[in-house]
């Protein structure tokens, strides 16, 4: 029972980071209909940019803020240079543009920073573990959870209350109507990419603080796909719930199934789960129920 | 198709022939002569490049069949190549089967494995199908092969293939040249097989499904059966590619069949041209030669910039990623379309149309 609780809670804490990245993915899909395979590389870029700022001696909050700004600019640039021209192209072409970008970004990161695992030195968060009853949690998990939570709230509030957020919602709902009401849909697309870059950057930084930063943090971008499929691709609450569910699922399968097999269950459990969801409920928890069937 | 004036056919057989004029026949004869006699004279390096091209062609054929002709987007083809490769290796090493038999069994196993992961295509399409094929990749390569198959017979992470294991009849496949002839044989077999398959009832059914699955269903095409058949054939082609590739390896390990190789293959057919067999060949040649030229260009610079040689793997990936993006932006129909236009231009020359 103790182990179960411990696994579930750690799962929720890590899952909040997945939720943040999944949110970025969903924003892009919801606003511009692009299925993004480069999410993992966006997390990598953000994490390494933050690491670079941090090792130059900026305090962590400043480094994180700088990462957000760099992410914002990179997001606008990526959208303008590559994705804007792909509006209205077939699904394969758009997906493969993002796949090509993922190769490119990973190559940039690998070329500049190499393959060695790097850590944030000095440690950003205190290493002293916190005890709740008999449970032991690393402080880094709790701080990451709080940071992810704050950002999630900020993003959701942005969509609900700000003028730009509302215009993004309008464009996602009905592009033509939004255009006729004077919403600049181009700006909405650009903003969606900028937000995705920012969310992914913070997600990558937090994950890098937990496990150390190397090229495999980009795996997060693939892990986010089961989360958004569970949530229903275009639903913001779905992405958050999906991310946390995948975090819990991964921890539970790591805790219980790992002993039965030679290893690797933790990495594939989300995908098996995803295939099962797709066979029985392809529109996820709160997705648009317009699945074409043959 | 353009035919010179004076060429006419009196029988359907002649009308359906691949090569209809003396000029085309002569061209093809030169091509075959070049491939069988010319290239082997060029030395070991061009042959090794040609072998990589051949492997890419064999691997990408299945992807082209699924994406270009049946409209089923797949991002997990490396899994079926891996099944073929591992099955062939296990057949030879564990059961002592001859290489061709082992390769055929591996290809059929890869086909069946592919059908298993094609089953969701009966219910989902588009993005969701991409997700299931990605799941196939991770489940097959990163889980089953890495953790179970690799340990068959008490091995660790990889299968070593001692020199002399791969034999076709009395010939031991141990030099680049022999691998090359094996490759040429397989590539010709697979491409002609697929080209012929595509102009039968089966091929037309696939193309109908690609163009509009609901209309295809209305016309009496059994959509599910033909989709699964496409997955089977693509898997068999992937299995042949895997079985071929182990002949030029000393060690088979899961690292050869990663997710990036699946994406790579889709990139190759995009650069070559989706929905064209020429596209597979042009794309494979273009990508492989581009990266080899890049390597040749980087080596002299690496004395001045040592980072270039250590990070070459990343330069390669970055250039490939950028090539996909640029092709999609500026040449979305691929090299095959450009080739087609070039041929038309010369057919009509000196007139514009």
Of A20, A14, A12, the closest CA to residue A156 belongs to: A20
B217 in contact with A at a CB cutoff of 8 Å? yes
Q: Is residue A293 part of a domain?
A: no
B316: closest chain A residue by CA = A107
Could you give phi then psi for residue A63, rounded to 5 degrees? -60, -40
Q: Is residue A286 part of a domain?
A: no
pLDDT tens per residue across span B32-88: 899 888 888 888 888 989 999 999 999 999 999 999 999 888 889 999 999 999 999
CA of B321: how far to CAs of A101, A276, B133, B265, B325, in Å?
6, 32, 21, 12, 6
Cβ of B321 within 8 Å of Cβ of A102? The answer is: yes
pTM of the shown model = 0.89
Of B330, B114, B149, the closest CA to residue B239 belongs to: B114
Contacts of B148 in chain A (CB under 8 A): 262
State the nearest Cα–Cα gap between A188 and chain B, in angstroms.
21
Of B265, B264, B254, B232, the closest CA to residue B110 belongs to: B232
Alpha carbon distance B330, B322 (integer Å): 12
pLDDT tens per residue across span A17-53: 899 899 889 888 888 888 888 888 889 899 999 989 9
Q: B19: how many CB neighbours lie within 10 A of its CB?
A: 12
State the nearest Cα–Cα gap between B342 and chain A, in angstroms.
24
| Residues paired with B159 in a beta bridge | B252
ipTM given for this complex = 0.85
Q: Is A49 exposed, middle or buried (0-12, 13-18, 19+ CB in 10 A)?
A: buried
| CATH code, domain with A208 | 1.10.3470
State the nearest Cα–Cα gap between A146 and chain B, in angstroms.
31
Domain spans in chain B, listed from the N-terminal domain onward = 45-259
| Residue-number span of the structural domain to which A41 is assigned | 2-280
Which residue among A89, A92, A264 places its CB closest to the CB of B147? A264
Contacts of A105 in chain B (CB under 8 A): 321
B156 in contact with A at a CB cutoff of 8 Å? no
Q: Is residue A216 part of a domain?
A: yes
Q: Is residue A291 part of a domain?
A: no
Contacts of A268 in chain B (CB under 8 A): 135, 138-139, 142-143
Cβ of A35 within 8 Å of Cβ of B127? The answer is: yes
Q: B342: how many CB neighbours lie within 10 A of its CB?
A: 10
Instruction: Give the pLDDT of chain A (294 residues) as one tens digit per residue.
Output: 778 888 888 889 888 989 989 988 988 888 888 888 888 888 989 999 998 999 888 888 899 899 999 999 999 999 999 888 887 788 788 888 998 999 899 888 888 887 778 887 777 777 777 777 777 788 888 888 888 889 888 988 888 899 988 888 888 888 888 889 888 888 899 999 999 999 999 888 888 888 788 888 878 878 888 888 888 888 888 888 999 999 999 888 888 887 777 777 888 888 888 888 887 877 777 777 665 554
Cβ of A267 within 8 Å of Cβ of B213? The answer is: no
Alpha carbon distance A53, A185 (integer Å): 33
Alpha carbon distance A103, B318 (integer Å): 6
Which residues 145-204 of A have a C-beta within 8 angstroms of B? none
Alpha carbon distance B125, B207 (integer Å): 16
Cβ of A104 within 8 Å of Cβ of B73? The answer is: no
Q: Residue A294: what pLDDT?
A: 47
A99 in contact with B at a CB cutoff of 8 Å? yes
Q: Structurally, how many domains does chain A consist of? A: 1
Contacts of A101 in chain B (CB under 8 A): 321, 325
B266 in contact with A at a CB cutoff of 8 Å? yes
Which residue among A100, A229, A293 places its CB closest to the CB of B131? A229
Cβ of A97 within 8 Å of Cβ of B325? The answer is: yes
């Amino acid at each position: 029972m103790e182990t179960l609780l411990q696994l579930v809670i750690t799962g929720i804490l890590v899952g909040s980071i997945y939720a943040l990245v999944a949110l970025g993915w969903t924003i892009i899909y919801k606003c511009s209909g692009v299925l993004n395979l480069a999410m993992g590389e966006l997390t990598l870029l953000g994490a390494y940019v933050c690491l670079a700022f941090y090792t130059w001696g900026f305090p962590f909050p400043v480094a994180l803020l700088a990462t957000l700004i760099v992410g914002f600019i990179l997001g606008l640039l990526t959208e303008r240079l590559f994705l804007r021209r792909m509006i209205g192209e077939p699904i394969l072409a758009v997906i493969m543009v993002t796949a090509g970008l993922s190769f490119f970004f990973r190559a940039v990161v690998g070329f500049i920073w190499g393959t060695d695992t790097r850590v944030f030195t000095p440690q950003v968060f205190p290493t002293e573990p916190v005890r709740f009853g008999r449970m032991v949690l690393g402080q880094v998990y709790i701080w990451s959870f709080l940071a992810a939570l704050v950002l999630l709230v900020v993003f959701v509030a942005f969509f609900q209350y700000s003028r730009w957020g509302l215009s993004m919602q309008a464009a996602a709902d009905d592009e033509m109507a939004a255009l006729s009401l004077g919403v600049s849909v181009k700006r909405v697309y650009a903003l969606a990419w900028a937000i995705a870059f920012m969310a992914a950057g913070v997600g990558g930084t937090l994950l890098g603080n937990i496990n150390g930063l190397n090229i495999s943090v980009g795996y997060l971008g693939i892990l986010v796909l089961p989360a958004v499929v569970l949530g229903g691709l275009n639903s913001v609450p779905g992405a958050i719930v999906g991310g946390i569910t995948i975090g819990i699922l991964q921890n539970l399968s790591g805790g219980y199934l790992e002993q039965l097999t030679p290893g690797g269950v933790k990495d594939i459990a989300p995908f098996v789960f995803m295939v099962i969801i797709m066979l029985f409920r392809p529109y996820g928890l709160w997705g648009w129920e317009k699945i074409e069937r043959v | 198709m353009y035919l010179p004036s004076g060429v006419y056919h009196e029988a359907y057989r002649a009308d359906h022939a691949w090569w209809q004029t003396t000029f085309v026949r002569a061209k093809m004869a030169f091509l075959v002569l070049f491939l069988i006699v010319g290239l082997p004279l060029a030395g070991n390096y061009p042959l090794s490049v040609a072998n990589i091209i051949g492997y890419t062609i064999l691997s990408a054929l299945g992807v082209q069949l699924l994406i270009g002709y049946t409209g089923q987007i797949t991002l997990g083809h490396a899994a079926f190549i891996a099944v073929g490769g591992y099955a062939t290796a296990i057949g030879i090493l564990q059961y002592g089967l001859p290489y061709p038999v082992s390769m055929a069994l591996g290809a059929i196993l890869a086909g069946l494995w592919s059908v298993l992961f094609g089953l969701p295509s009966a219910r989902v399409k588009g993005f969701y199908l991409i997700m299931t094929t990605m799941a196939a990749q991770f489940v097959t390569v990163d889980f089953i092969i890495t953790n179970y198959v690799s340990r068959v017979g008490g091995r660790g992470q990889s299968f070593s293939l001692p020199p002399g294991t791969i034999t076709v009849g009395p010939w031991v496949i141990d030099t680049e040249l022999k691998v090359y002839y094996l490759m040429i044989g397989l590539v010709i077999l697979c491409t002609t097989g697929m080209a012929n398959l595509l102009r039968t009832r089966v091929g037309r059914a696939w193309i109908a499904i690609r163009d509009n699955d609901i209309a295809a269903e209305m016309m009496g095409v059994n959509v599910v059966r033909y989709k699964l058949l496409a997955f089977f054939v693509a898997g068999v082609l992937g299995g042949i590619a895997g079985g071929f590739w182990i002949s030029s390896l000393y060690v088979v390990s899961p690292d050869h069949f990663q997710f990036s190789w699946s994406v790579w293959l889709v990139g190759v057919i995009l650069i070559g041209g989706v929905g064209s067999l020429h596209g597979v060949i042009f794309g494979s040649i273009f990508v492989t030669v581009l990266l080899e030229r890049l390597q040749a260009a980087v080596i002299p610079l690496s004395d001045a910039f040592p980072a270039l040689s250590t990070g070459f793997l990343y330069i390669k990936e970055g250039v490939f990623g950028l090539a996909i993006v640029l092709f999609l932006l500026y040449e979305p129909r691929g090299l095959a379309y450009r080739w087609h236009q070039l041929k038309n231009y010369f057919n009509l020359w000196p007139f514009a149309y």
